[in-house]
Amino acid sequence: MAKKTVADIDVQGKKVLMRCDFNVPLDEDCNITSDDRIVKALPTIKKILDGGGALILMSHLGRPKGQRNEKMSLIPVTKRLSELLGQDVVFAEDCIGPETKAKVQALASGDCMLLENLR
């Protein structure tokens, strides 16, 4: 059986949930010091968006041990991803709950959203 890739999947009009490794290094001011991990995910992200899918991205950053920690927020990743894609990336302040669900439901084809830190 041949291995399927993102290129083999019809995502037109569908919502796609993708786990990424956006565990990027940050300095003391929460600035990304290396965006290599974000850049490496771009081909897959672009394939889904260009294919007409609405993309929900999820990742972890650091080890906040289940407690909210602003220094481990994915907001800087959202900003950098927006710059790299040349489009707005919606940020969900949580990875679960009614507000996040509403944001997911509001996504249109070609939209991209990043959920807050899974950890």
Where are the extended beta strands (E) located within 1-119?
15-19, 54-58, 90-92, 112-115
Residue 49's φ and ψ, nearest 5 degrees, are: -65, -45
pLDDT of the chain along its 119 residues, tens only?
788 888 889 999 999 999 999 999 999 998 999 999 999 999 999 999 999 999 999 998 877 666 676 778 999 999 999 999 999 999 999 989 999 999 999 999 999 999 998 87
Q: Where are the domains of the chain?
A: 13-115
10 Å CB burial of residue 14 (0-12, 13-18, 19+) is middle
Largest CA-CA distance found in the chain, in angstroms, rounded: 48
Helices marked H in the chain — which ranges?
36-50, 75-85, 98-106
Q: Which CATH class is domain 13-115?
A: alpha beta
